[in-house]
Amino acid sequence: MGSTIYVNGRITGESEAVVPVLDHGFLYGEGVYEVMRTYRRTPFLYGRHMARMRRSAAMIDLEVPFTDEYLLGEIGKTADRFYQGQGPEGDGVELYIRVLLTRGVGAITYDTRSCPAPTVVIIVKPQVDPPPEAYDEGVKVILVPIVRNHPGSVNPLIKSNNLLNNALAWQQARRQGGFEAIMRNYRGEISECSQSNLFVVKDGQAATPPLEAGLLAGITREFVFECGQSAGVPIREATLLDADLFDADELFLTSTTREIVPIVQVDDRKVGTGRPGPVTRTLLAEFRRRIPEGL
């Protein structure tokens, strides 16, 4: 099943979806994005994703040219077109929704005044969950030497289309057989993964690096804090070092498209028992129980 793509109001299949090369999103990576997914064909935590998109856009001085309600309508039209193209095969398919907002088309200059209108893209395709083994057996991750962007440079709080830092880290982890890459910040502390946030569990308590460590404020990360409260699992923010990973009872990663995935190996070292642990399982069960609240 291919993607259905909206570009400034025009909805087509993926081969016809194009953005001009003079778009500053293409020329300079100037733009922001969000990735959402549906459950029961409804975007999960939509309001939170849009609030983050507005924060990201404000951090690069980019105007968001739509209301949340308007964009939801445009996502709905794109999703309808996707499902129309599938027929009965589309039944039961949930969606991955990527919304991109770029500076738009302009002259070859960094002057934002040359770009009168931002470009809006919506990519809709089937949500592909991690394989069941990832949840049942856990995954291996690689602690990579590529340093997460310094917050004083391209701040990781901006969910930016400029993903070279993340892509290089992920590609390195992949070459070493990892499902994900863990990155440190410029101080050598653990920050996050290339496309997910990271939690450690020790003595029944979970911890994750603070935003100040230079990481994306994951929507799932935030929801997991709330799941910890309702499930009776204490979760806090804490500065984490390499030793905290190797000393942990459990580790897990979180993201919109993966929910909560247990990590059982970092590089060639086993985490805890080498099996997904009880705290991770409790939080995942609580997360899934609470999904209807976010629809």
Ligand X SMILES: Cc1ncc(COP(=O)(O)O)c(C=O)c1O
Residues that bind ligand X (CB under 6 A): 35, 166, 192, 195-197, 216, 218-221, 254-256
**Smallest gap, in angstroms, from Cβ of residue 196 to ligand X?**
5
**Smallest gap, in angstroms, from Cβ of residue 145 to ligand X?**
17
Buried b (16+ CB within 10 A) or exposed e, 177-203: ebbbbbbbbeeebbbbbbbbbbbbbee
250 close to 205: Cβ distance less than 8 angstroms: no
* 38 versus 166: smaller Cβ distance to ligand X: 166
Q: Comparing C-alpha atoms, which of 81, 84, 107, 94 is closest to residue 39?
A: 94
**Smallest gap, in angstroms, from Cβ of residue 170 to ligand X?**
10
Strand pairing class (139-143; 259-266): parallel
* 11 versus 260: smaller Cβ distance to ligand X: 260
Composition of the chain by helix, strand, coil, percent to 5 = 35, 25, 40
157 vs 214: CA distance, rounded Å = 7
Structure tokens at 154: 């391209």
HSE on the CB side for 107, CA within 13 Å? 6
200 close to 251: Cβ distance less than 8 angstroms: yes
274 close to 264: Cβ distance less than 8 angstroms: yes
* 260 versus 271: smaller Cβ distance to ligand X: 260
**Smallest gap, in angstroms, from Cβ of residue 163 to ligand X?**
8
The conformational region for residue 110 under phi > 0 = left, psi -120 to 50 = alpha, else beta, is alpha
Distance of CA 10 to the CA centre of its chain: 26
* 17 versus 157: smaller Cβ distance to ligand X: 157
* 22 versus 154: smaller Cβ distance to ligand X: 154
* 98 versus 275: smaller Cβ distance to ligand X: 98
214 vs 203: CA distance, rounded Å = 26
Does the annotation count 159 as an active-site position?
A: yes
Per the residue annotation, which of 125, 159, 202, 270 is the catalytic one? Answer: 159
88 Cβ contact list (under 8 Å, min separation 6): none
**Smallest gap, in angstroms, from Cβ of residue 193 to ligand X?**
6
Which residues are identified as catalytic? Answer: 159
